Every structure is written in C-alpha cells, then in structure tokens.
Amino acid sequence: MLCYAGAIRYTRDAKLAAWCVKKAHHLIDTYQHPDGYLSTYANQDLLRANPDSPDYEKHWCFNIWGQKYTMWALVELYRATGDKKCLKAAEKMMDQLISQMKRMNVTIDKTGSWAGISSMSILRPLVELYIEVPKPEYKALADYIVKVTDVREGQKPTANLIYDALSDRPVVSWFYKPMLLSKAYELQSFFEGVAAYHRLTGDARALAATEAFWGHLFREELNPMRSASYFDHFLYAKRHVNGMTELCDVTHWIRLNRELWKLTGETKYLDCIEEAFYNAFLAGVTPDGAWGAHIIRSHGTRHVTAPAQTGMTMHQCCPDNMLRTFYDWADTVADVAKDGAWEVNLYSDADIVLPGAKMELRGGYPVSETFRLRVVAEKDGKLRLRVPYWAGAIGVDGKALKPAAGKVELAVSAGEQTFNLVLKMPPRAIDSEAPDFEDIDTVTELDTQRQEGFTKTFMCWYTPEMKGLVRRTAAAEIMRGPLVLAKGRLVGTSRDETFEFKTINKQPGWKLSLVPQKRTTKNIGVWGAWDLTLEKGEEKKTIPVADFWSVSCMDDPENWFSVWF
C-alpha cells in the first residue's frame, strides 16, 4: 500500500485512489481490533519471542516491524487521498501499542528482533504520524528511541546506534554478534527514521549521526554493484570480492541517500542514488517489471529470484520495496530549490512538471553521453544542473562548464528553449579492496571472528549451478559514467573470458577504451553494448561488455556474467 500511495501521488488517478481506499477500509473493518491492534500476530502480546531466554535474539519476532509498515501505509494513503478513516486507524494502532508496552512494562528497545532495531525502525512512520496527529505521547516515544540508542554502553545485545555511528569504529564492530545483528535493511531503516526525527525537531546530533552512518557505509560497505551491504549484513562489504546484496538493501541505501540529499542539498548523495539505481537496483528487476530478485550478485549465472513469503504467491519484501524505489527515483529527478531555482538532478528520459516550468529530457542517458533538455518556463528564472563526481564538467551547447558544489547554474528566459548537454564517460578502472585471496570457507569480521561457510553457502543458495564460480581472488571493476560494466553471454563474451582470473587490479598503466557495438541478434537484449580494449605495452585485448543490469538480470542458469576484470 505504500507503493500504491506513491502511485496515487504520481498518477493522480482517481479510480486508483478509490480502489486503494476501498481495500484499506476492508482491512480496517475486518482485522483491526476494537482497541486498535492491527497486526499479523494472533497473540498481540507477543512482542518478543522467548523473553526469558539468554539467546532470545535467535528467535525472530516481527510484530512491531509489521505494524510499522501497516501504520505507515495508512498515514501515506491518508496523505495521498485525504481519507480520514485511514489516519484514524493509524492513530488507534499507535495508541494501542503505547498503551500495551506500558501495561506490559516493556520498552520498545526490548522488543522484536536484532537488539530491538527492527521495532525501533518504527521511528520514521511515527514521525510522519505525529506531523498529522501531534499527540505528546508520540513525540515522547520518538524522543525515547533516539535517546536510548545514544548511550555508550549497554547489556548485550547492544543497539547503541547513534553513539556508535559518531565513533570511528566500523559498523561490523558495533555488535558482539555481527553475523546476526549487523542487519543492513533494519539499520538503514532505523537511520531513515533518525533523519526524519531531525527534520521534525532540528536535533543537530540526529543529523550528524545519520551523516556519520552514511560515511561508514560509503567507506566500508559499498559493494561492487554500488549498493551497501554483504548479503543483508554490514560485514565490511568492500573487502568481499563475492559481492551479494539484497534488493531491500538497495532500496534503503537509495532512501537513506535521498533523505540526506533533501536535508543537506549535497550532490554526493545524488551520485550514490544514481549509481545504485542503474546497477544494483535495476539488476534486481525482471525485464517485464513483474517481479524481482532477492539477492543481486557480482558474478555468476543469475541473481537469486525472490521466493514467495508466508504462503503468498505474489508477496516478498524485496519486490514490494522495489515498487517504492521507482517512485523515489521519479521524485528525485527534479525539484525546486529554496531560492526558487529549478534543479535537474538525474538525466534519464523524463517529462517533468515543476511549478512555473515544464521540461523534457531525451537522449538515452547514461548509455548516451549526449542528451537534450527542453524547458518551457512561465517566467525568467534559474536552472541548475547536477554534475556527477566522475564528470568534472558538463557540456552545455558546446561549452564545458565546471561545477560549484556539484552543480552549474544557467539563466532561463520565459518561453521555450533547448539545451544540448554532454557528460563525457571515459572508462575507468576501480581497484578492489578485497584481499588478494579470499578464503571462501570463512568470512572474517575485523580478522577476529570467523563464521564458517557464509560465502560458500549463500553464493550457491537456490542456484546450485554456481558451484565452482565463487571467486577466490580480487579483481578490478570498470565503470563508464554511473554504469558498472560487465562481461556476459548476452553481449557476446564467452564463458571462459567472463570468468578468467587474470586481472588488472592494482596494476597501473592500463589504457582503457570503449567502442559501441553495432546492434546484432547477439546483443539485441542489452541496453548498452561496447567493445572494451585493454592495452598495456605490447599486451592488448578486446572484450565485449555491457551495462551490468541488462546483461545480468535474466533468471537463467545458462546465463553468465561478471563485473570483474
């Protein structure tokens, strides 16, 4: 329903809005208890499994986590449609939960899974509900969540997330059981709530902690697919050559960057959104858009398709979140700055409607370096264009303009005008931070704690044909603009060439050049196709390559691909 709320705002479709409200009313009328409880758990007092067991964190309990999403969807559906019954149902849910925790003498950090992190991620929808229904007990609960995670020490398992984010210790070291507790989806969801808390209260430490958390992920956890995580955990993903990321992690990495961009205006967050979307995210979406992946990998035969959950044939958290990301992307493409300037942030083909201006982007970016922006303005104004970090300058009508703070500013006259734009995209090699030899039978957490079989198990999970393809040695990536390039069957790379172990990693002096492939029956299914030439001294090799997402997103055990060179 969160996706549908986004769809209503995007399409302004009255029939869709009416259908969604009807569905929501049915849910409320059928399943909400008189006291306000609305959840999938029959026992509403089951807020934590086995609360008396010292190993309680091994037993999952998603009661409040599920309530979080239901309540949030009701709030957003109210905002999209104005339906007050939805808002009242969300209010009753929150009232019941607060009353229940008081009756049971339990605090929210002692509920749910993963040291209470799953439950405390209710912070984001709690803030949104408080904006609509400003009850002091809602603000008090939000204050408590922020305060209880900003302490130096606590009993294991700890969740001192705000305090730890502001430290220089890597995320993997924050937990005494990182393989269990360092969950990427939940942690990013929590800090999205901390950002919302800052937006509500102006709390400077909340913003600083969110920015610091982002910095940890950017330095420690960016994986080869340009998402942040190693199989839904923060286990120093930059050090793992066998990249794996859950599609939910991609969604929430994009959402975290989006929140920070809206709060700070810094374009580095837009750079991360763009790279995550074009690579890890789109690779997790089936070509027809009907379903998606659970796990996206850096190399192999296919990604791990999302399995149906809880007995429902068309429900899984990753494809559910996938739909939200399309609307998050669309909402980020362009906006109006505080000073009234029109800003274009992303360059995929788009029709844009902003107050005072309509725009049209065309050209096939980022496969194409050249594209055009047509602007029809009601009055004279300013137009700002983002310049990605990898570009250095943007060509505007034949003139190269260097950015200030990641943007260039143009004068726009009332009426219609067209800007011809160029962002040069020479290929560039990205050295891997993985060790030269990764022991696939163990995963090392700060070289102090060993967990048996993690990489070997999950690289082949649901994809038995992956056996023997788990990589042991580091290699380099090659990027073109925001795109990760990959070898693969769909672009004409042989299997042996795709998985070869000779590498250019940490070997300066290689010259890289790209020539677009002509369209043939071999590469017709990929978005961008090039011949990549690697040259150093007398050594020279040409390899067919494509953009990572379209060469890898087929659910076919006979398809092969790799980002490693």
| SS3 at position 185 | helix
Query: Is the predicted pLDDT of residue 424 greater than 80, yes or no?
Result: yes
* Residue 450: band (very low, low, confident or very high) from pLDDT cuts 50, 70, 90: very low
According to the model, what pLDDT value does residue 14 have? 97
Structure confidence at residue 546 (pLDDT) = 98
| Residue with token string 């209260």 | 201
Q: Is the predicted pLDDT of residue 447 greater than 70, yes or no?
A: no
pLDDT recorded at residue 55: 57
The pLDDT of residue 309 is 83
Q: What is the mean pLDDT of residues 345-360?
A: 97
SS3 assignment, position 271: helix
Number of other residues whose CB lies within 10 A of the CB of residue 4: 21
The mean pLDDT of 360-367, rounded to a whole number, is 98
Strand arrangement of the beta sheet that strand 370-377 belongs to:
350-354, 357-362, 370-377, 415-422, 394-396, 399-401
What is the arithmetic mean of pLDDT over 432-458? 63
Arithmetic mean of pLDDT over the chain: 93
Least confident of 247-256, 379-388, 448-457, 506-515: 448-457
Mean pLDDT (whole number) for 424-430: 98
CATH fold group of domain 1-148: Glycosyltransferase (1.50.10)
Q: Is residue 363 within 8 Å of residue 371, measured between CB atoms?
A: yes
pLDDT surpasses 80 at 53: no
Which residue in 502, 510, 499 sits closest to 539, CA to CA?
A: 510
**Tens digit of pLDDT for each residue in 161-207?**
999 999 999 999 898 778 778 999 999 999 999 999 999 999 999 99
pLDDT of residue 113: 82
Task: Check pLDDT > 50 for residue 319.
Answer: yes
Predicted confidence at residue 448, as pLDDT, reads 36
Average pLDDT over residues 451-473: 82
User: Which pLDDT value is given to residue 451?
Assistant: 45
Label residue 439 by pLDDT band (50, 70, 90): low
What is the DSSP secondary-structure string of 306-340?
PPP-TT-TT--HHHHHHHHHHHHHHHHSEEE-TTS
In order, the DSSP letters of 25-64 are HHHHHHH--TTS---S-SSTT-SSSSTTSTTGGGS---HH
Judge residue 536's burial from the number of C-beta atoms within 10 Å of its C-beta, 0-12 exposed, 13-18 middle, 19 or more buried: middle
Q: Could you tell me the CA-to-CA distances from 199 to 123, 135, 207, 335 in Å, in that order?
A: 12, 17, 8, 18
CATH number of the structural domain 342-365+370-424: 2.60.420
Helices 184-201 and 123-132: crossing angle, nearest 10°? 30
**Angle at CA of residue 325, ends 121 and 89, nearest 5°:** 50
Contact status, residue 540 vs residue 549, Cβ threshold 8 Å: no
d(CA 169, CA 448): 14
* Domain edges within the chain: 1-148, 342-365+370-424, 428-438+473-562
> What pLDDT shows up at residue 440?
60
Cβ count near 136 (within 10 Å): 8
- Its pTM stands at 0.96
* Cβ atoms of 477 and 564 closer than 8 Å: yes
Name the more confident of 311 and 494.
494
Host H or E run for residue 458: helix 454-459
- In percent, the amount of the chain with pLDDT more than 70 equals 95
Neighbours of 143 (CB within 10 A): 13
The confidence score (pLDDT) of residue 445 equals 44
Q: pLDDT exceeding 90 applies to what percent of the chain?
A: 81
pLDDT band at 453 (very low <50, low <70, confident <90, very high): low
What band does 288 get if pLDDT is binned at 50, 70 and 90? confident
Euclidean distance between CA atoms 109 and 355, whole angstroms: 43
The pLDDT assigned to 444 comes to: 46
Whether cis (ω within 30° of 0) applies to the bond prior to 366 is yes
Q: Where residue 51 falls among pLDDT bands split at 50, 70, 90?
A: low
Round to whole Å and give the CA distance between 457 and 100.
Answer: 41
Using DSSP's 3-state secondary structure scheme, residue 79 falls into helix
Least confident of 38-47, 406-415, 443-452, 464-473: 443-452
Choose between 436 and 442: higher pLDDT.
Answer: 436
